[in-house]
Amino acid sequence: MKNKPINLKYDKEVFKKGETKVLYDNVGEGEKNLFVVTIPSQLISAIEAQKYFSTKNNVLVILFFVVGNGDNINQLFELSSLFPYDKLITYQQKDTYNLISFKKYLNCINKYTYNYNFYGHVNLAYRKQFANIKYNHLYLLDDGTYSLSVHNLLTQQSKEENKYIGLDENLNFKKRLINMIYNFMGIKRNTHLNNLNFFTIFNIKDYNTIITHDYSHVKSLFSSHKIKDNKIYILGQPFRKIMKMSTFEYIQAMKEVLDCYPNHQFVYIPHRQEYFSDVFSIFLLQQKNLTVKKLNIAIEIYFLQKGIVPHQVFSFTSTALFVLKKIFPKTKIQYIEIDTTFLSAFHQENIQLIYENYKKDGIKKFNCQK
């Protein structure tokens, strides 16, 4: 395969569940490096990490988690053109317990010993991948604020403990049977995270190797010509879907910003997983100074591609605020605090962790001052 694929598009008839596809392969001699990503923010981090470590023979794996018509996959395909891969693989798991297709995928990626092994997630579904791979260095790429949650959990454990996240020690009959099937097929189901390192934009410390960056390489890939934009951008969040937040509460939080700037033009950027209820759609249509812009690419890449330097950006708990703060240090970036009392303890803890790190990065809480 001498020519890299161009203009890749997701098609469910082409990219079928359970199939491993090698779309390009030009791996040469020397050390190999693996990058496994599932969402655009992970791939953006991978682009930065590849440059930082000056890796060669880069194997890029795009794992499919299809949302809607697959626009999220198309975002990954478009971003992949910025990544200097030597091998491009796609895989979508057929179902949780279909180990035949998973075994074929493992056989495809574990044919090399990797120097650097980069993953955007380290839950059980991913640990059972790198548990079966030979490598020298394991790094977690930023997957939003998930990196903060993983770091927080690992640093709460003592060094004497094995770093198994989410490992159930109390195995029932079904789980023991699953383990037996894994063993029969020669697949390790789990591994510890004692050797996990972080490649991150977050100000974290006290766990193995932590390398921080500011997306300087990603910024350099785009034109230096910049356009100042006085619109106010609000980045949507799928709170109603993920955290069962009511539409009314979400609208009230948004209205605080809209009412504070009655003479400004707003652009609302929906999250890729965001669902518009009828009530929310009507609310947006009623805002004469607001337009909705659905993007097929990450917001930070959209700004860079268009040469836009945004004047103001608001969101609630979006990781994009951290990234935009690094890329556009002069942009006014603020978070809209939400009432977390109605949320589960899990969501409350994660949101407070995000707020704490917003403050560390100089991202201030919105407070209307007319």
Q: What pLDDT, in 10s, does the model give residues 231-272?
A: 999 999 888 776 677 888 889 999 999 999 999 999 999 987
- The helix-helix angle for 146-156 and 345-360 (nearest 10°) equals 100
Q: 195 vs 81, 133, 136, 199, CA distance in Å?
A: 30, 14, 10, 13
Q: How far is CA 147 from CA 105, 112, 194, 196, in A?
A: 26, 27, 15, 11
Q: What is the pLDDT of residues 195-222, one digit of tens each?
A: 999 999 998 887 899 999 999 999 999 8
The pLDDT of residue 327 is: 92
Q: Would you say the C-alpha torsion 271, 277, 283, 285 has a positive or negative sign? A: positive
The dotted CATH code for 222-365 is 3.40.50.850
User: Does residue 127 have a pLDDT over 70?
Assistant: yes
Residue 225 has pLDDT above 90, yes or no: no
Structural tokens at position 109: 């990626």
Question: For residues 203 and 212, is the Cβ–Cβ distance under 8 A?
Answer: yes
Residue extents of the structural domains in the chain: 20-219, 222-365
Q: What is the pLDDT of residue 185?
A: 85
Q: Model confidence over 8-23: pLDDT tens digits?
A: 999 888 998 889 999 9
For residue 177, what pLDDT is reported?
Answer: 77
- pLDDT tens digits for 54-68? 999 999 999 988 666
**For residues 167 and 137, which has the higher predicted lDDT (pLDDT)?**
137
Q: Quick one: tokens of 85?
A: 């891969």
